[in-house]
Amino acid sequence: MALRRFCSVAVLAGGVLGASISPGFSAKDSAVSASGLPVPRYVSLKSDHVNVRAGPTKDNDVAWVYTRSGLPVEITAEFENWRRVRDSEGAEGWVYHSLLSGRRTAVITMKSKDELAPLYDRADETSAVAARLQAGVVAQVKHCAAGWCHVVGNGFDGWIEQQRLWGVYADEKVD
């Protein structure tokens, strides 16, 4: 009986200690993030070479490297100067804060990869179609309101339905 009680206390103490030093600490669970900005939030990659690590220190292995400046990512947690990010494909890892930019970008998403997203002259689906964009195209987000976003990119400028973008929350206003 005493041995069983000792094992229960040891397991309980181990759980408490493990929780206090766990590398899986999520700043998202705390009321205030390290940066003082909301978590989650969207940002973009500042560089054409961004190392994504398994954990929030340079001692952690590089899991992969992003090679596309401007790609949108979602910050899902913060730990000191590190940000846990998720990309449009769902991959997550840790990035040093200085490699991220507050410039808003988004990826065009479609139900089918063969489908094209219409880009309109105005925030109205009855307006002229300025272009048709493939899934995966990255655009800079200039403004979003009332379910529409003004986006620009290499060779296009127009309005797209907000639901067609990964990098902007539903009903989020962007100025």
Regarding whether 110 and 99 lie in a shared domain, the answer is no
- What's the pLDDT band for 97 if we cut at 50, 70, 90? very high
| 47 and 115, same domain (yes or no) | no
Q: Are residues 135 and 91 in the same domain?
A: no
Separation of CA 6 from chain center: 45
CA angle (152, 157, 161) in 5-degree steps: 80
pLDDT tens for 43-64 read 999 999 999 999 999 999 999 9
Same domain, yes or no: 98 and 30: yes
Any domain includes 173: no
79 and 34 housed in the same domain: yes
Confidence class for position 32, pLDDT limits 50, 70, 90: low
- More reliable by pLDDT, 4 or 56: 56
Our count of domains for the chain comes to 2
Nearest residue to 58 via CA among 13, 105, 114, 96: 96
One domain for residues 85 and 112: no
Q: What backbone torsions phi and psi does residue 67 show, to the nearest 5 degrees?
A: -125, 25
pLDDT digit string, tens, across residues 100-110: 999 999 999 99
**Residue 119 forms part of a structural domain:** yes
Model pLDDT, residue 78: 98
Q: Looking at residue 110, which CATH number applies to its domain?
A: 2.30.30.40
Last residue of a domain, one of 103, 129, 153: 103
Q: Is 175 within the bounds of a domain?
A: no
The torsion of the CA quartet 88, 92, 96, 97, rounded to 10 degrees, works out to 50
Is there a domain that residue 99 lies in?
A: yes
Which of the listed residues 65, 87, 103 is the one where a domain comes to its end?
A: 103
Residues near 146 by beta carbon (within 8 Å), at least 6 away in sequence: 123
Q: Indicate whether 77 and 145 sit together in one domain.
A: no
Q: Is residue 15 part of a domain?
A: no
Q: Which domain holds residue 138?
A: 106-166
Question: How many other C-beta atoms lie within 10 A of the C-beta of residue 53?
Answer: 19
pLDDT above 50 (res 12): no
Predicted TM-score (pTM) of the model is: 0.80
Boundary-marking domain end, from 54, 71, 103: 103
What is the spatial order of strands in the sheet that 82-86 belongs to?
62-66, 50-53, 92-96, 82-86, 72-79, 41-45, 100-101
Residue 92 contacts residue 108 (beta carbons within 8 Å) = no
